[in-house]
Amino acid sequence: MQTVLFLAALVSLAAAGYPQYHYDVETRKLDPSLLNIQTKVLSLLENWKQVNPDDEYYKIGKEYNVEANMESYTNREVVTEFLSLYKAGFIPKNEVFSIFYENQALEVIALYRLFYYAKDFETFYKTAAFARVWLNEGQFVYAFYLAVIHRADTRGIVLPAPYEIWPEYFMNSDVLSKIYRIQMQKGLIIPEQGPYYGILSKDNAYYFYANYSGPLTYEDNENLLSYFIEDIGWNSYYYYFHNRFPFWENGEQLIGPLKERRGEIYYYVYQKILARYYLERLANGLGEIPRFNWLDKYQTSYYPLLSSYQLPFAQRNDDYYLASGDNINDIQFIDTYEKTFLQLLQKGQFKAYKQEVDLYNSKSINFVGNYWQSNADLYEKVPKRNYWRSYEATARRVLGAAPRSSINYENMNIPTALDFYQTSLRDPAFYQLYAKILDYINEYKEYLEPYSQDVLHYVGVKINDVKVDKLVTYFEYFDWNATNAVYLSEQQLDTVSPSYIVRQPRLNNKPFTVNIDIKSDVESEVVVKIFLGPKYDGNGLPISLEDNWINFIELDWFTHKLTSGQNKIARKSEEFFFFKDDSVSLFKIYELLSNGQVPSYMVDRYIYLPRRLILPRGTQRGFPLQLFVVVYPYQAPVKEWESMRQYIVDNKPFGYPFDRPVTLPYYFNQPNMYFKDVYVYQEGEQYPYYNSYWSQNQVSNH
C-alpha cells in the first residue's frame, strides 16, 4: 500500500511539473543615481539572520562609531536617546522581536529615528551596517525596512516582499522543518523519495509543496478559510499598511498634511479588511464574524503551526478564560477604555490632551480613529508619554493567550500570531477584535447626519445599465523564495547557495470588465466608484442596506469625462485603483536591475491588495454578490494633498458614500447609482496539492 501511495505522489508531482510563471512585469527606469543605493539596500537584507565577515557591510559596520559621528545626523536628540538605550543594553541577538513588546519597541523606535535622521545615504548605510553587525536581527530589519520607505533619498527604491524576508512567518512549521533538514543534510539523501514528501529539486533549488492549515489548527470549520487568511499576499498587505503608517510615529512625518485624515485612514483600512474577510466567510458557509465578551470564556481556539527562529508560537484553547488572574489588570484597562469612549459619545465632546473635539462632527473621525489606535497623533499636544499602553496592544496580548514570562525583560516572551503584523491575519481572533473596534467607531457614526437625497443625487446623470463579465476564481501554484529561513554555512555565504522555494496553491480570479452605460445631460468630469458587497447573510436571507453598508468593499475609484449624451465606460479589473500585481521575487528584482529597471508597482503601489484577491472564492453554482456603482461630480483634492495622489482621487471621504450609516435605503435608488447582482464561480481543483494527510483541509464542493 505504501508503494502505491509513493507512486501516486510521484506521478502527481511530476504531472504538476515546473510551472512557468507570467513575468510580464510593468517596469520603470530606475534613476541612475539610485542604482548603487538599490544594490546596497538589497545586500543588507540578504541572509539577515547572520553576518558574513567577508561582506562590505561587515567591515564598515564593525568599525563604525555612532557617538563619534554625531555631526552626521540632523537631529542630535535622537542620537543621544539611541546611545542612552544602546549603552544600557538592547535586546540580545537571536531573540524574537515584536513591536508590541514595550522595551523592544522603545529600542527599535530609537534605532529607526537614528536611521531616519542620517544626513545622507552614506551615513544611513554606515549606520545600518553597524546595526546589522551589532544589534538584534529582527530589530534591524524592522527599522531598516521602515527607514527605506520613509527616507527622502531612498524613494523609488524597491524592497523585497515581506515573505521573502520573514519566510518562517508565512509557512507552517512542517514545511520549515523540511527546509531545515535539507539544509542540514546538504540535500536529499535519496532523491527518488523526495516527491513522496512533496519535495523536488532542480538547478540548485529545492521546491517544497505546501498547503494550508487544517482542523488541527482551526476548529468549527474555520479551516475552510485557511487558504485566504494564510495567503502570503493577504498578510503582506497588512504588514505594508503598518510600515506606511506605524502607530508610534507622528503623522506629520509619515504623511505630511494628510495626517488630518490619519484616523479616517485607520477606519477605512480595517473596514476593508473586515469586509473582504466577511465575503470569504460567506463564500464558505461560515456566516457572521463572531462577537465576544471580555468577561466570558473565549470560544475560538487557535493552534498555529508557526515557529519563529527560536520559539514555537503559543496556542489558545477553546475554553480560554479571558479575565484570568494574569489578565485582570489588562481586562480592567480594556473595559475602562471602551466605556470611556461610550461616555464621550453621550456627552458629544472630548476634552483632554489639550484637545477639544466635537464628536458629532463628521471630521472627528480622525480623532476617533486615532483614539482606537492610540497612535502618536492622539497625544501630540502633551509631553512625551512615560508608559507604553494602548487598547490594541493590550487586547492583542490578552487574546494571544501566551503564558506570561516571570522574567522582567521581554525577550523570554512566547510569541503569538497577534504579536506580529506578518502573522496577525492568520488568527481568527484578529477579525473578532477589530470587528469589536469597528462596532465602537460605528457607534460614533450613528450620531452623524446621514447623507440626504440632495447630496447623493447627481442631476442630469443616469446609469442606464451595468454589465459584468463572468466572474471566475481558481487556484494556481505560486513559487516564493524561503531561503532567508535558513542559516548558511561559511562556504555557502561565499558561493551560490541552494535556493529553497515554497510552492503553494493560491486563490486567483480571471480578469473581467465592468461595462457601465451612462446617459448625461451635460459635459462634466465625474468620479466613478465600484463596490462589491454581499447579497445574503450567513442564514441565506437578504441583507437590508441599513445593515449592509458596512460590508461593501471598495474596488475602484477613478475619474472620467462625460460627454453630453450616451457614455460607455469599460473598466478592466486590471485597472482597479485599490489593487496591484503580486510582488516579484528578489531574483527577478536583480534581473530587472541588470537592465536598470525595477517593478513599478513595488515602488509606489506596494500598499495595495494583490489583484488576485479582488473576488472571494466562488462556488460551482455561483456565489451571489452585488456590485454597487456610483457616479458623482469630481472635486479635486486640496492642494496640500497633491503629493499623496497615489492614495487619493478626489475630495470626498474615504469609502464615500458608504462612510456613513444608511438610514433610508431608498436614498440610494438614485439615477446616478446602480446595484447589479453578480455571481462568482469556482473552476478547477479546490486545492491542487493534497494527499491523505492534507485532504483534511480541502475546501468542500458546494
How much of the chain, in percent, has pLDDT values that exceed 90? Answer: 80
The predicted structure's pLDDT at residue 406: 62
Q: State which amino acid sits at residue 219.
A: E
The predicted structure's pLDDT at residue 383: 77
The predicted structure's pLDDT at residue 387: 54
pLDDT tier at 161 (50, 70, 90 boundaries)? very high
Which residues of 521-591 form beta strands (DSSP E)? Answer: 524-534, 553-562, 565-572, 579-580
Distance between CA atoms of residues 384 and 448, nearest Å: 33
Distance between CA atoms of residues 656 and 549, nearest Å: 11
Q: Give Cα separations from 592 to 204, 381, 481, 501, 585 (angstroms).
A: 21, 46, 17, 20, 11
Distance between CA atoms of residues 81 and 60, nearest Å: 23
Q: State which amino acid sits at residue 332.
A: Q
Q: Which helix (H) or strand (E) holds 133?
A: helix 121-134
pLDDT in tens, 232-250: 999 999 999 999 999 999 9
Read off the DSSP letter of residue 307: B
Length of the chain counted residue by residue:
702
The predicted structure's pLDDT at residue 407: 58
CB 629 within 8 A of CB 514: yes
Global pTM reads 0.94
Is the domain spanning 453-487+498-576+614-689 CATH 1.10.3720.10? The answer is no
CB 97 within 8 A of CB 410: no
Secondary structure class of 469 (helix, strand, coil): coil
CB 611 within 8 A of CB 581: yes
Cα-trace Rg, the chain = 26
Distance between CA atoms of residues 505 and 496, nearest Å: 28
Q: Mean pLDDT in the chain?
A: 91
Residue ranges per structural domain of the chain:
31-157, 225-446, 453-487+498-576+614-689
Distance between CA atoms of residues 333 and 323, nearest Å: 12
CATH architecture of 31-157: Up-down Bundle (1.20)
Distance between CA atoms of residues 265 and 243, nearest Å: 14
Helices (H), 536-580: 545-548
Read off the DSSP letter of residue 71: G
pLDDT tier at 183 (50, 70, 90 boundaries)? very high
Distance between CA atoms of residues 55 and 204, nearest Å: 23
Give how far the C-alpha of residue 262 lies from the chain's centroid of Cα atoms, to the nearest Å.
17
Q: Is the pLDDT of residue 127 over 70?
A: yes
Distance between CA atoms of residues 663 and 104, nearest Å: 46
The predicted structure's pLDDT at residue 193: 83
pLDDT tier at 104 (50, 70, 90 boundaries)? very high
Those residues whose C-beta lies under 8 Å from the C-beta of residue 656, and which sit 6 or more positions away, are 529
pLDDT tier at 475 (50, 70, 90 boundaries)? very high
What the block records as the C-alpha cell of 557 is: 475609484
End-to-end Cα separation, the chain, in angstroms: 31
How much of the chain, in percent, has pLDDT values that exceed 70? Answer: 93
Torsion, CA 267, CA 272, CA 277, CA 280, rounded to 10: 160
Would you tell me how many other CB atoms lie within 10 Å of the CB of residue 570?
A: 10
Specify which residues 207 forms β-bridges with.
200, 501
Distance between CA atoms of residues 332 and 83, nearest Å: 36
The predicted structure's pLDDT at residue 698: 39
Torsion region of 554: left, alpha or beta (phi above 0 gives left; psi -120 to 50 gives alpha): beta
The predicted structure's pLDDT at residue 386: 53
pLDDT in tens, 346-368: 999 998 888 899 999 999 999 99
What does the DSSP assignment read for 490-518?
A: HHHHHS-PPEEEEEEEEEEE---EEEEEE
Torsion region of 261: left, alpha or beta (phi above 0 gives left; psi -120 to 50 gives alpha): alpha
Q: Is the pLDDT of residue 415 over 60?
A: yes
The CATH number of 225-446 is which of 1.10.10.10, 1.10.1280.10, 3.40.50.620, 1.10.3720.10?
1.10.1280.10
Phi, psi of 424 (to 5 degrees): -55, -40
pLDDT in tens, 62-81: 999 999 999 999 999 999 99
pLDDT in tens, 193-222: 888 888 999 989 999 999 899 999 998 899
pLDDT in tens, 427-463: 999 999 999 999 999 999 999 999 999 999 999 999 9
CB 235 within 8 A of CB 583: no
